[in-house]
Chains A and B, each alone.
Chain A
Amino acid sequence: MVRPHDTRFRRLPIQPTISALNAINAGDKAMQQLPVCLNMSDRLVVVTGGGQTAARRAETALRAGARVRVVAEHVGDAFDDITDDPRIEIRNSALERADLDGVFVVFAASGNTADDAAVVRLAREANVMVNVADHSALGDFSIPSIIDRSPLLIAVSSSGTSPLFGRLITQRLEATIPAAFGNLTRFLGSIRDGLTQRIPDSRRRRRFLETIVDGTVADLVLSGNEERARTLLAKEADSFVSGGDTPEGEVYLVGGGPGDPDLLTFRALRLMQRADVVVYDRLIGSPILELVRPDAERIYVGKKRNQHALPQDEISRLLVRLARDGKRVLRLKGGDPFIFGRGGEEIELLASEGIPFQIVPGITAASGCSSFAGIPLTHRDHAQACIFVTGHTKTGRLSSDWATVLQPNQTVVVYMGLAVLGDLMRDFIANGADPSLPVAIIENGTRPNQKVATGTLSDIASITEAAGITGPALIIIGTVVTLREKLAWFNQPAPKDAAATAALSSETGGLAAASAPDVPVEGAAVR
């Protein structure tokens, strides 16, 4: 049994779930397999092999209601628990073509690759789907790890890439899915037809179901009080149905962070899964967008080729209109909505139109880049203050005057400054900043393709250009930049534990892809 606290997992380079899974698929964005759930009831399956693995396969098939024919020259003790089951038939011989007559699927589980390959050949001849334990690529499908809260089933698959990792994730999920969820699922199944009649509109029905699942009705079911749950449900459905034609819409103004999907907050993820429609712009990358409820409508309001972005007041009006239609609208923004995100402007209109809204902060680019580049924004000996400003494409100026920006012991972070980097750096010097003041440019901060260039006010512009940095990028100015030399960690080889990492990544196959090779663009040494 693999537990999260097995020593094997101790020193995993933990790129927790989402980025690891994305990384596995990085080269190949298409799904590698299609998960399905088979109806096994009363169907005949064949399991070949007499050992532990074969016994587990037979057991799972029996649990799913199948009849099982075990074909193996020798059937071991591992089968002792299940040989009494009347649905099991044992044939003590090697598999023959005739064993496959009328068979739905075959599980090759002898543990011997040559034997399994022979089974695959026979199965192919007989046109029967076959699975090969531990070598799913040899056969037609893989078997996921399962969390069984029947009728609720949660299957976790690594598409055969790293079954061990799949099991690790299953283990973590196990603890978070209450045992009584099976009852709740059954209960919800029993009210499904009635509910479809009462609330024919699927969007409204979904919303009603959500309030049920988060509310007292579910609590009653989970604590075994189905009778009272049914009474309460009827009451709540009545008041929901009589509560007007369109449900009340609302807007979630959500910060999506700097790009790494693991940096989303729980609340952001929850609202992303709840929204009926998502309104997003350029800074939202696909790894984050993929986490929005798949059937939510998507509206892109950023810049398109040959076209400007939708003007801010039109975006605000769009949000109002969608919410008025009764939709739950996710306004997903890069970073934090209240830091150069124009979130304030959007809620002004919502508020004056009386539309309910929620604001969810996100990791702002400055924090994401600071952490992932190893450049603290404050440090006792370097900076007791930090200012976030923007660069202006038109004027080439900063959003604050020089007395404000050029303070001792203050880190300056410039958003949207890359396009005017050269002018900006010259202005800093012209207004009295030390030309040797350290500067870092972080492009695609927190993303696998993060690039960091460091230099000084006088040379960073040419270093950045030579590095081919095009943005989105953040500028950090101040002596804290010198700390990167010691604190850089992301995409860096770590000499001391490199060996451990290598050993583990071969064991878990694929997870190693989570730490892509570095793209360091260190310029002139930082002084």
Chain B
Amino acid sequence: MKMPGRVYLVGAGPGDPELLTLKAANLLAVADVIVFDRLVSPEILAFANPQARRIPVGKEPRRHPVPQSEINRILVREARAGHLVVRLKGGDPFVFGRGSEEALALRAAGLRCDVVPGITAAQGCAAATGVPLTHRGLATSVRFITGHCRADEPLDFDWDGLADPATTLVIYMGAANIAEIATRLQGHGRDPDTPVMAINNGTRPDERRLVSRLADIAITAADASFAGPVVFIVGDVVALYGDSHMSPALQSALATANDVSREAAPYA
């Protein structure tokens, strides 16, 4: 009888390979099988055991994503075959990644699943741009929401609660619905002048940022026609993103990284 293998649900961070944890890299180096998402960059897969079998399961543009139930089946199958399986997910596995569903499926099959946290996209983007998620006098709390909803369902939030000016709002998977979200937030009392930053491919070489305000973000974001993942950071902390607060090093980093016109953005 084969001994069952083991699955590690591992966060790969936002993309910069230097933001991988040591634990994640060590597990990649000994994995037999690596099941990974589209969001995971090739530089990170370079840490993998060269003999490991790689199974991509992420959504490719213009291709059908592997359904969640199928991903779960793959994980169970590989673990039962006695392999050391690393399930590599972008960011943190327990933040909007459906990682918990995979872990539950493994447990239901009687398999062990260890979890390795990762730097979530919001943290990577905050550090890269110098915009803190909480800051004395500007934001006492930070909230993460998903702008994605199940097909044919409306976005389901208590919008009044989301309008709190002292809470930084971070929107994941929001590119498609940013217009509706921005409108609703303003409708429920959030100041149209609230600064908003969109970060596309945060922490990667092709990172782009755009600074705007709640009233304009839908249009400026549409104009930027981002390709790849985007997070939106909504709140007064974004006002800290500006030349007066930037070190020369950061400024020069920005000058090269930021291809979105800063002149067009009121807060840049």
Contacts and interface: CB of A to CB of B under 8 A. Distances in A.
A9 B30 contact: yes
A512 to B, nearest CB: 16
Contact of B240 (A344, A350, A389, A496): A344
A375 to B, nearest CB: 8
A359 B118 contact: no
Interface string B54-69: 0000000000000000
Contacts of B126: 338, 361
Contacts of B146: 378, 384-385
A497 B235 CA distance: 48
A371 B117 contact: yes
B7 to A, nearest CB: 10
Given A266-B22, A347-B130, A370 B142 contact: no
A363 B156 contact: no
B72 to A, nearest CB: 13
B23 A406 contact: no
B135 interface: yes
Given A363-B119, A384-B156, A486-B107, A18 B92 contact: no
Interface stretch (A55-63, A72-80, A205-213, A395-403): A395-403
Interface in B104-131: 104, 107-108, 110-120, 123-124, 126-128, 130-131
B21 interface: yes
Contact of B104 (A342, A345, A348, A486): A486
A4 B249 contact: no
A367 B9 CA distance: 13
Contacts of B131: 338
Q: What is the predominant secondary structure among interface residues of chain A facing chain B?
A: mixed
A17 interface: yes
Nearest to B140: A399
Interface residues of B, number: 86
A338 B41 CA distance: 24
Given A5-B30, A379-B100, A390 B95 contact: no
Given A338-B132, A403-B160, A407-B158, A264 B21 contact: yes
B244 A367 contact: no
B115 A11 contact: no
B211 interface: no
A497 B20 CA distance: 28
Nearest to A446: B117
A18 B100 CA distance: 27
B89 to A, nearest CB: 11
A145 interface: no
B18 interface: yes
Interface stretch (B161-169, B192-200, B216-224): B161-169
Nearest to A353: B247
B6 interface: yes
B18 A266 contact: yes
A88 B240 CA distance: 72
A496 B133 contact: no
B141 A483 contact: no
B118 A11 contact: no
A386 B22 contact: no
User: Can you list the 3 inter-chain pairs with the closest CB atoms, starting with the nearest?
Assistant: A16-B26, A344-B132, A376-B100
6 contacts: A11-B3, A266-B22, A270-B18, A351-B244, A359-B128, A377-B144
Given A363-B119, A388-B134, 12 more contacts: A10-B32, A262-B22, A342-B136, A355-B247, A360-B19, A361-B123, A377-B95, A377-B144, A378-B144, A388-B143, A407-B161, A408-B158
